[in-house]
Structure 1
Amino acid sequence: MNAPHHTMPESSSAFPLDRWYVVGFSWELTDKPIARTILGHPLVLFRMAEKPVALEDRCCHKSLPLSLGALEEGGLRCGYHGLLFGEDGACKDIPGQANIPCEARVRAYEIRERDQILWIWFGSSEHPAPQAEPPGYWVHSDPQYKFRGDVFHFEAPYQLVHDNLLDLSHLGYVHLRTIGGNARIHMEADMKVEQEGETIRVTRYMRDSEPPPTYTAARPFSGNVDRWQEIDFRVTHLLIWAGAVEPGSDSLSDPNRGGFHIRGFHGVTPETETSTHYFWTVATNPHPDMQDVTEIVRSQSELTFQEDKIVIEAQYRNMLRFSGASTVDVHVDVGPNRARRIIDRLCVKQRC
């Protein structure tokens, strides 16, 4: 039985509603509850009878965070006076008291688990219940790929993370130790930006370029390579397919091209208007003549995201210091600017 839905308070209008947001990964739900704030809503996440559960992180008795409680077979027990809450948010047991008031309950949220990704529905008053199932991500179950993932926290608004992921020209300046490469080639990449509804695709080709450190550590390239980067933007997450082939050996537009692949899942979920959860996985296709390089790709990707975190948080602090200062756009800003217009239109529409 699905948890009951509830209308979101007006504070959520700062973010696009009526859609699934990433709230975590399957492997995070172990034997302890998790506290996580999503779109300004303090939540407690846990697993009950093999199903993920998301409740308001507040006991209805004395307001202690339920995330400080303990998991039992029947639900989550508050760590203050022992009230037990089930998957629907209703109190099921009050120690020492037989009668359970009907108002003894907390808000329950719609949550789904698909391809090891946890999705939570944030609906409007018009669509409080999910309008569709959350998106799938086939890469996590494809045998040709091996993946790893983690969660980062950014002290910066989520759209700055969108900007960063939609504009990979920065790789040659920020990520020299991992997935960077020649900075000028990155800035001069053959780039195309396409849009269909709320979806944006940025395609970047860098032919006959020097492979960066992560690529040479994971694949026995003999010299220069033809590189590609395909960034697919959705409102709540992005998919990035990057990689390289020997020069001229494959068409970079062939969906079945070989070579070295890095497929990234990027769940960019607002915590508040000024902080962000970044849920990521990276998958790669190991070369048959090399040892499993999944850990190399994971660790270098994590280093890459740490470098992004430093840049984005410093950028935001400086935006606050220079509040109101004008900025200029350059040619690599086409994708990020389109994404911002999509977000702006959605937020304006739901406020009307």
Structure 2
Amino acid sequence: MKHDGEATARTSSPALPKNRWHVAGFSWELQRQPIARTLLGHPVVLFRAADGVAALEDRCCHRHLPLSLGTVEDRGLRCGYHGLLYDARGACIEVPGQATVPPRARVRSHPLREQNQILWIWLGDDEATAPPPDYGVHDDDRYRFRGGVVHYDAPSQLVHDNLLDLSHLAYVHLKTIGGDPGLHMHAPIQVEQSGDTLRIVRLMPDSDPPPTYGLAWPFAGKVDRWQEIEFHGSHLLIWAGAMDAGSGALDDPDRGGLHIRGFHGVTPETETTCHYFWTVATNPHPGMPDMTDAIREQVELTFNEDKAVIEAQHRNMRRFAGAPAVDIRVDVGPNRARRLQAEAASRTVNAHQT
């Protein structure tokens, strides 16, 4: 049987797709200190001034000290070397010791938008033609959420692969969100595509609740589990959960039980490193104490386990550069996503050449 994209070599990375909104961080990260990050090969500094959030290239136009070593003021970001002050558009608005500001005293700025407590950045050469994606879960009173940031010494595509193929849960996350390996590996996989969005559904009825699920919800025994993944290129949304076996329909959007909604923003740093911005939102059980922090700890543990696996995978791919990878049934989602990314990059290149 030939699987989707069989024997695909996985050692190469696609071009960094800049003409789309990418996750740069979270609202709660921007307090009184600037943040330095390299996103899609661009060293940027993120900060919050009186008139909102901003992203500038991380250098002063005077002597090139990183602006991320400066201080945030109400009017903007002040360089920590000679005190030049920059506004949110990258224009220098004050040079200490002189009355005039040189006309060319400015640095490049990038559109940065704050929405649903997510910071979205546009790094493309083309103008942004649409607003950043909406993620209303963060503002939904039915859910409590927590989040974090992980840095990977591995390409963003390997993190995408991991999130698009959840069969690994039974082997990598046995003590948290895993479950019976046979059930995970044999679960039917539904794949649907709409434009550049990919949707993958895995249903696992009549299964044992994994430890993290049992911590958050008082299940009576066996459960019906679901995993619904949406791939949007720059980020993924994963809706997972479980309800008492036979208590409802798994295709009912208003099904009961424990709901776990994950936001996964995977932003390349370079072609071989990336940032992983994640949140997990759950619906508290009315008869139990709030377990939001405990669930966050459990989920963070799983992400650390994934990081160890993915970085080891990448190191070995470099050791065995050029060796082919033989695909199996569960690779259908990751392989389809790879094609979507390649097609999006090709469209961008063709548009610039015409």
TM-score range, shorter chain: over 0.9
Using the TM superposition, give the Cα deviation of residue 250 of structure 1 relative to its aligned residue in structure 2, in angstroms.
1.0
Residue 329 of structure 2 corresponds to 331
Contact 2:18 2:40 (8 Å CA) reproduced: no
Partners in 2 of 1:50 and 1:99 — Cα distance?
23
| Length-normalised TM-score, structure 1 | 0.94
Q: CA RMSD in A?
A: 1.0
Partners in 1 of 2:148 and 2:325 — Cα distance?
33
Residue 175 of structure 1 corresponds to 173
Using the TM superposition, give the Cα deviation of residue 121 of structure 1 relative to its aligned residue in structure 2, in angstroms.
1.0
User: Residue deviations 1:253-294, cap 9 Å, x none?
Assistant: 111111001000000100110001000000000111100011
Match of 1:341 among 333, 339, 342: 339
Residue 216 of structure 1 corresponds to 214
Residue 30 of structure 2 corresponds to 29
Residue 10 of structure 1 corresponds to none
Q: Does 1:47 align with 2:45?
A: no
Residue 74 of structure 2 corresponds to 73
Using the TM superposition, give the Cα deviation of residue 302 of structure 1 relative to its aligned residue in structure 2, in angstroms.
0.4
Partners in 1 of 2:284 and 2:73 — Cα distance?
41
Matched letter for residue 212 of structure 2: T
Using the TM superposition, give the Cα deviation of residue 50 of structure 1 relative to its aligned residue in structure 2, in angstroms.
4.7
3-state SS, counterpart of residue 183 of structure 2: helix
Matched letter for residue 20 of structure 2: R
Partners in 2 of 1:16 and 1:57 — Cα distance?
21
Using the TM superposition, give the Cα deviation of residue 123 of structure 1 relative to its aligned residue in structure 2, in angstroms.
2.3
User: Residue deviations 1:10-57, cap 9 Å, x none?
Assistant: xxx922232100000000000100001100000000001151100000
Using the TM superposition, give the Cα deviation of residue 350 of structure 1 relative to its aligned residue in structure 2, in angstroms.
2.3
Partners in 2 of 1:317 and 1:141 — Cα distance?
39
Residue 206 of structure 1 corresponds to 204
Using the TM superposition, give the Cα deviation of residue 122 of structure 1 relative to its aligned residue in structure 2, in angstroms.
2.3
CA gap 1:150/1:50 in 2 versus in 1, 3 angstroms: farther
Matched letter for residue 214 of structure 1: T
Partners in 2 of 1:50 and 1:243 — Cα distance?
40
Residue 147 of structure 2 corresponds to 149
Residue 103 of structure 2 corresponds to 102
Partners in 2 of 1:151 and 1:78 — Cα distance?
26
Contact 2:226 2:241 (8 Å CA) reproduced: yes
User: Residue deviations 1:148-168, cap 9 Å, x none?
Assistant: 001000000000000000000
CA gap 1:94/1:50 in 2 versus in 1, 3 angstroms: closer
Match of 1:250 among 248, 251, 273: 248
User: Residue deviations 1:167-190, cap 9 Å, x none?
Assistant: 000000000010001111100112
3-state SS, counterpart of residue 272 of structure 1: coil
Contact 2:249 2:255 (8 Å CA) reproduced: yes
Match of 1:135 among 127, 133, 148: 133
- For these two proteins, the number of residue pairs brought into alignment is 337
Residue 92 of structure 2 corresponds to 91
Using the TM superposition, give the Cα deviation of residue 99 of structure 1 relative to its aligned residue in structure 2, in angstroms.
1.8
Partners in 2 of 1:169 and 1:202 — Cα distance?
12
Higher relative contact order structure (alpha carbons within 8 Å, sequence separation ≥ 6): 2
User: Residue deviations 1:298-341, cap 9 Å, x none?
Assistant: 11010011100000000000000000111101010011001000
Partners in 1 of 2:168 and 2:38 — Cα distance?
30
Using the TM superposition, give the Cα deviation of residue 348 of structure 1 relative to its aligned residue in structure 2, in angstroms.
2.3
Match of 2:227 among 223, 226, 229: 229
Partners in 1 of 2:152 and 2:98 — Cα distance?
44
| Length-normalised TM-score, structure 2 | 0.94
3-state SS, counterpart of residue 45 of structure 1: strand
Q: 4+ residue runs of structure 1 moved beyond 4 angstroms?
A: none
Matched letter for residue 157 of structure 1: P
Within 5 A, what are the aligned runs for 1:297-316?
A: 297-316=295-314
Partners in 1 of 2:208 and 2:266 — Cα distance?
30
Partners in 2 of 1:103 and 1:14 — Cα distance?
32
Matched letter for residue 152 of structure 2: F
Task: Indicate the percent of aligned positions where both proteins have the same amino acid.
Answer: 64
Partners in 2 of 1:17 and 1:56 — Cα distance?
15
Partners in 1 of 2:57 and 2:43 — Cα distance?
6
Partners in 2 of 1:297 and 1:50 — Cα distance?
35
Partners in 2 of 1:217 and 1:88 — Cα distance?
47
